[in-house]
């Protein structure tokens, strides 16, 4: 992947994650009083924030377990993912 394509991919992901973050904050506000739903939303919110942080520090797209590049399609489908397909499969 060229640097330009990568930059564009990262900024697309970042924008998507920021949108997701806004949606999750909204859902969290609407889920007031529903603890189990809030817990689930908080987990997603945390994953979203961590993904944005990984973009900012330049480790986005690297598996946190084996350090290999995460499949591009996987990242596109789920930008909050932090490990590659095979590590994720091993984790169950
Ligand atoms: Zn891995």
Share of the chain above pLDDT 90, in %: 90
Q: Considering the chain, what is the average pLDDT of its residues?
A: 94
What CATH number does residue 23 fall under?
A: 1.20.120.910
Give CA–CA dist 13/67, Å, rounded: 20
Ramachandran area for residue 69 (φ above 0: left; ψ -120 to 50: alpha; else beta): beta
What is the model's pLDDT at position 1?
72
Which residue segment(s) compose the domain that 28 sits in?
3-91
62: helix, strand or coil: strand
Split into its structural domains, the chain has a count of 1
CA of 62 to the centre of ligand 1 (A): 8
Which residues lie at CB < 5 A from ion ligand 1?
Answer: 63, 65-66, 84, 87
pLDDT tens figures, 45-84: 999 999 999 999 999 999 999 999 999 999 999 999 999 9
CA of 71 to the centre of ligand 1 (A): 10
| pTM (two decimals) | 0.87
Check whether 91 has a pLDDT greater than 90: no
CA of 63 to the centre of ligand 1 (A): 5
């Amino acid at each position: 992947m060229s640097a330009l394509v990568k930059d564009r991919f990262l900024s697309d992901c970042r924008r998507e994650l920021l949108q997701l973050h806004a949606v999750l904050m909204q859902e969290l506000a609407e889920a007031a009083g529903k603890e189990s739903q809030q817990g689930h939303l908080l987990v997603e919110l945390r994953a979203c924030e961590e993904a944005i942080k990984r973009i900012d520090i330049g480790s986005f797209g690297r598996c946190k377990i084996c350090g290999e590049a995460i499949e591009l399609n996987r990242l596109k489908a789920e930008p909050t993912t932090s490990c590659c397909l095979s590590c994720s499969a091993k984790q169950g």
